[in-house]
Each structure stands twice: as structure tokens, then as C-alpha cells.
Chain A
Amino acid sequence: MNKHFGSLHVLRDIDLTVSRNEVVVLIGPSGSGKSTLCRTINRLETIDSGSITIDGRPLPAEGRGLARLRSEVGMVFQSFNLFAHKTVLENLTLAQIKVRKRSKAEADKKARELLDRVGLADQAPKYPAQLSGGQQQRVAIARSLAMDPKVMLFDEPTSALDPEMINEVLEVMRTLAVEGMTMVVVTHEMGFARSAANRVVFMADGRIMESRRPEDFFDHPETDRAKDFLSKILKH
């Protein structure tokens, strides 16, 4: 699969398969295309050539098919993107009611269960702006989970957070991983990559350089690019 932004070739000959229940962590320097790759999976970015299949079916181009697929692929953003004009509870119920056609009572019940699971049951009536970054991101994860997704995509979920809030989000993600959720995670949290990932995919300049088990990658990187990257971030 390939993608260009104008003359910039951001994704070059990407070939990646994620198995069911697998947790794949995408790492690499800024501008390496990992976020873009993550966003192509639910077609928030289009691709120029190649193909993407989810659950054996090719990614629909537009319209109803794409909407249905997106409802089964959860996405968590760097900037949370909670609906600012809705309460926390409404954030979780809106798509359940409008897209999944669940009754309000059913959606409410599911939403409260999930809020409880991410430790925010008491925040339901608040607006997103009243929560801390870490709390907002946990709500965003719960919002995605409310749709019963088959896959979860995380696009740098902790990059906009204060250091003390990163762990509460990673903890929720770690639990998800343990429970067998299929996950694609773009992150700079090497600790998470090492402990929670089944596979680490290292990208640079739009290419996948390495795709290996975390312990192999971190302890014995094969490519010079990966060695260079790891030496820079693991120095401190």
C-alpha cells in the first residue's frame, strides 16, 4: 500500500498484517508515517494504491459500508476529540443510539458499565472540558468500546497528556490488551510497547523497517535506523 501527500511519499510499500487478539505497537521518529498508517485503517486517510482488508473484507470506499466498518473499528485520538457540547454520558451513548440503534436505556446501561470500568463512573454528568486530560482520554476509550469494536486504533493516545496522567491511560489500554482486544497503537511509550505489545513495528521514512517481538526489537535491533532511534530515546 502507498500514500502521497502531494509530492511527499508518506507511506512506501507498506505490508502489514495484524492478527486477531494481537497488540501491535507502531513506533518510529516523527514524520515516519506511523500515525498516517494508523488512520488509513479506518480510512480517515485515503491511500493511493494497494488494498486494506479488515476481517477478510476489503475496506469500503465511501458511504454506508464505510460507516458500518468504522463503527466496528474503535479509534482513540491524540487530542481526545470528545464531543465538547455533550456530557460524558452522552458522549458514550450518542453513537450507540444513532448508529447501533440501541434503546436509550440499553445505551445508558452500557455507558455506565464502561465508565465504571475506566474508573470514571462519577463523572457521567460532566462536560469534557471539566475533566483532566487523562480522564478525557479514558472517556474517549470508553466511547469507542461502547460500540463493541473488533479492533481498536490508538493514535498517540498519551502524547497530549501530562506525565502523571499517562499511566492511568496506559493502565486501561494494558487491561484491554490482556483481555484480548485486537489493538494497533501508535505511541512513544516504550515501556508500554515492551510490556503490552505482541509485536513492535518500527517505521522510518514511510517504510516498515522492522516488525518483531518487543524483546527482540528492543534488545537486538537489526537495522541501523532502529539502533539509532533506540539509542536516542533510551539514553535518559
Chain B
Amino acid sequence: MNVLLDNFALFRKGFVGTLELTLASSAIALGIGVLMAGCRVSPVRPLRILGGVWVTVLRNTPLTLLFFAVVLGLPRFGVVLPFFTLAVLALGCYTSAFICEAVRSGINTVPVGQGEAARSLGMNFGRTLSLIVLPQALRAVIPPVGSTLIALAKNTAIAGSFSVVELLGTYRTLNELGYDIVVTFLWIAVGYLIITLSISALFRFLEKRLEVAR
């Protein structure tokens, strides 16, 4: 009857898998997302087009389809990677499109004059963006980025269908062992809650921190 305690090692393995997927994908999503947002507001037209295409393609593709594309597509080009890495790539790139748009909306909240002042002092586009605009955009960007990363944490469940060890996938083993499926799912939900609520807490903390900073 006690699903959790009897199978703690299994749960823990799944939980750690989900956590690792979330952390690695978040890093990729944040990195590429900010980079693409920079592209979308850059004065260089090809970069703007790149950013636009990136967002349009990834934001409008179902995540599961993207997983198939990565898992089945990349090996055809001779790229052989572990399933975990492929899953991180799919999740990270997919989420980066949403991060990009959140960051871009944040950039738009910074008054144009801030960028003009920076440029008139001789700063180039990169410095203007990284030293003046992005730091001021940060505060506006934090709530939507938090929501996006929570969505990412939940989306990691799809990786379970692609041979990656993660939390949701533990139900298969437990179901075969004859445990009550409802109770199993309850504990799995608790596992996800631990991760998502931690993300919420982290972002609430960041929001508070930045409020004091000026």
C-alpha cells in the first residue's frame, strides 16, 4: 500500500531525472532565448530574420513533434547523441522561443531614451543591450520567464516517452508491480509540485530583490 516508501529509490531516480532535464533545458532556453531576443531587436536585418524564424518555427510546432524530429531526424545526419541530450535540446530550443518573446517584451518596456543615451555615449549595440537595456528589462521579464520555466518543468514528462528516465515514467514500473495507479500519480504530482513551487519561490525572490535594487 505504501507506494512511496517501498519504491523510494525509483521515485528518487525519476525525480532527479526530471530535475536534471529541467535545469539543463532551462540553461539552454535562457541562453538561446536572450540571444534570440537580442537578434530580434538588432539593427542587422539578417539577425532580425533569424530571430523571427526561430521563434515562429519553434513556438508553432508541437513539442512532441519536435522530440520526434530531434530523436529520429538528427541520427540521419550522423549526429548520434544520448537520449537525455536530445531531450534537453528539444526542450531547450522549444522553450527558448517563449523566453525570447518574454525578454523582447521586457526590452520594449525600457524607454527608448535609455538606448539613445547609451549610443550617444559611443556604446555599440551589444554594450547598449547588455549594460543598459537588458538590466532594466530584467524586472519586467521575471514573471513571464518564471511561468515559462514552470511550463518547461512539466513538459519534461514528454521525454519519458523517448527513453529518458524522468518522474512520470515511474508509473509504468509501479503499475506493473500492481500498485494503485491513483496513489502513484498522486505521489508523482507531489514530485512535480516540489520542482514547480521551487521555481515559483525562486522567481518571487528575484522579483523582490530587483525591486529593492533601485
Contact = CB atoms under 8 A, between A and B. Distances in A.
Contact of A67 (B111, B113, B124): B124
Contacts of A69: 122
Nearest to A74: B120
Interface string A168-197: 000000000000000000000000000000
B209 interface: no
28 contacts: A44-B116, A44-B119, A62-B43, A63-B124, A64-B124, A67-B119, A67-B122, A67-B123, A67-B124, A68-B122, A70-B119, A70-B120, A74-B120, A75-B120, A77-B113, A77-B117, A81-B116, A83-B118, A83-B132, A84-B114, A85-B214, A94-B121, A98-B127, A99-B121, A99-B122, A99-B127, A129-B214, A147-B121
Contacts of B114: 81, 83-84
Contacts of A42: 120
A211 B54 CA distance: 52
A64 B122 CA distance: 9
A71 interface: yes
Of the candidates A72, A80, A83, A129, the one having the most CB atoms from chain B within 10 angstroms of its own CB is A83
A84 B117 contact: no
A75 B117 contact: yes
Instruction: Give me the 9 closest cross-chain CB pairs, A-B, nearest first.
Output: A71-B122, A81-B117, A75-B120, A81-B113, A95-B121, A99-B122, A70-B122, A67-B124, A67-B122
Given A98-B127, A98-B131, A85 B120 contact: no
A229 interface: no
Majority SS at the chain A contact face: mixed
B213 interface: yes
B75 interface: no
Contacts of B124: 63-64, 67
B73 interface: no
Of the candidates B121, B213, B214, the one having the most CB atoms from chain A within 10 angstroms of its own CB is B121
Contacts of A218: none
B85 interface: no
A85 B109 CA distance: 14
B148 interface: no
B113 A98 contact: no
B147 interface: no
Contacts of A36: none
B46 interface: no
A95 B124 CA distance: 11
Interface of A: 42, 44, 62-64, 67-75, 77, 79-85, 94-95, 98-100, 127, 129, 140, 143-144, 147
B117 A83 contact: yes
B64 interface: no
Given A77-B116, A83-B117, A94 B131 contact: yes
B123 A95 contact: yes
Given A67-B119, A81-B111, A140-B117, 17 more contacts: A42-B120, A44-B116, A44-B120, A62-B43, A67-B123, A69-B122, A70-B120, A70-B121, A75-B120, A79-B113, A83-B117, A83-B118, A83-B132, A84-B214, A85-B135, A94-B131, A129-B214
Contacts of A100: 122
A89 to B, nearest CB: 15
Of the candidates A69, A70, A80, A144, the one having the most CB atoms from chain B within 10 angstroms of its own CB is A70
Contacts of A77: 113, 116-117
Interface in B158-206: none
A71 B114 CA distance: 16
B57 to A, nearest CB: 29
B122 A143 contact: no
B214 A127 contact: yes
Contacts of B127: 98-99
Contacts of B214: 84-85, 127, 129
A98 B119 contact: no
B155 interface: no
B117 A85 contact: no
